[in-house]
């Protein structure tokens, strides 16, 4: 079984979806660590409820990004983390983590990249009045939502859809697609 770390900053809806698939056996992994960068984020309580090791680091508490990532890397190494899953983690990953986990860090983004990278992708899509947006799962590189795309799925935006409607559609896809893609990556890695 592969040890994974989930990195999250917020409510943890994708964390919940991943945990649920691990519990059901659909995702053959062990969530060995939650890394969070926001004190009091709801995802922390969710992880602790499931007795998942949790570390909370504020980047401002470190001298620089490399020192922050070095502390996170040590936590990952201590727990034998083989794969990192970003689930609403609102920080760019730097070389301190990218090098040891090359092509073993994935992210999910609420748009059909390369359209609408970065924050508030749903708001960007609504502002541009696009009729289709979606979800992208990609490997993480040193850019913002620029890593190689692994999977995408589109959703339609109806004229009457509010931002909350679009968010609900996006999250429905995310919660199904992300665990499936992660599992497929594990299978692919094992067969090599």
Q: Answer yes or no: 138 catalytic.
A: no
Q: What is the mean pLDDT of residues 128-154?
A: 97
- Tell me whether residue 91 is annotated as binding: yes
In tens, the pLDDT along 37-48 reads 999 999 999 999
User: Mean pLDDT, to the nearest integer, of 148-171?
Assistant: 97
Judge whether 90 is annotated as a binding position: yes
Tell me the pLDDT band of 191, cut-offs 50, 70 and 90: low
Q: What share of the chain is helix, strand, coil (3-state, %, to 5)?
A: 40, 20, 40
Question: How much of the chain exceeds pLDDT 70, in percent?
Answer: 98
Q: Is the model's pTM score more than 0.75?
A: yes
Catalytic choice (50, 109, 138, 175) = 109
Task: Name the DSSP letter for residue 143.
Answer: S
Q: Which domains, and CATH codes, for the chain?
A: 2-191 (3.40.50.170)
Helix segments in 79-142, DSSP class H: 95-98, 121-127
Q: Report how far residue 161's alpha carbon sits from residue 169's, in angstroms, rounded to the nearest whole number.
A: 10
Please tell me the predicted confidence (pLDDT) of residue 187.
Answer: 80
DSSP-derived pairing of the beta strands 132-139 and 105-109: antiparallel
Q: Quick one: pLDDT at residue 59?
A: 87
Q: What is the pLDDT averaged over residues 62-75?
A: 96
Q: Is the pLDDT of residue 190 over 70?
A: no
Number of CB atoms found within 10 A of residue 121's CB: 23
Identify the weakest region by mean pLDDT among 75-89, 150-164, 177-191: 177-191
105-127: pLDDT as tens digits: 999 999 999 999 999 999 999 99
pLDDT score for 161: 96
The interaxial angle of helices 163-191 and 13-24, nearest 10 deg, is 40
Is 14 marked within a binding site? yes
């Amino acid at each position: 079984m592969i040890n994974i770390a989930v990195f999250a900053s917020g409510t943890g809806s994708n964390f919940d979806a991943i945990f649920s698939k691990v519990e059901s056996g659909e995702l053959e992994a062990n969530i060995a660590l939650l890394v969070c960068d926001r004190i009091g984020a709801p995802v922390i309580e969710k992880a602790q409820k499931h007795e998942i090791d949790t570390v909370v680091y504020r980047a401002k508490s470190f001298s620089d990004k490399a020192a922050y990532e070095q502390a996170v890397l040590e936590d990952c190494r201590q727990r034998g983390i083989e794969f990192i899953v970003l689930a609403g983690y609102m920080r760019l990953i730097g070389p301190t983590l990218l090098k040891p986990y090359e092509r073993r860090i994935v992210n999910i983004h609420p748009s059909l990249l390369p359209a609408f990278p970065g924050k508030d992708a749903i708001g960007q899509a609504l502002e541009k009045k696009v009729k289709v947006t979606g979800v992208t799962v990609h490997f993480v590189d040193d850019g913002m939502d620029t890593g190689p795309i692994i999977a995408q799925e589109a959703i339609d935006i109806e004229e009457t859809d509010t931002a909350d409607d679009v968010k609900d559609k996006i999250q429905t896809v995310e919660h199904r697609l992300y665990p499936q893609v992660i599992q497929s990556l594990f299978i692919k890695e094992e067969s090599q």
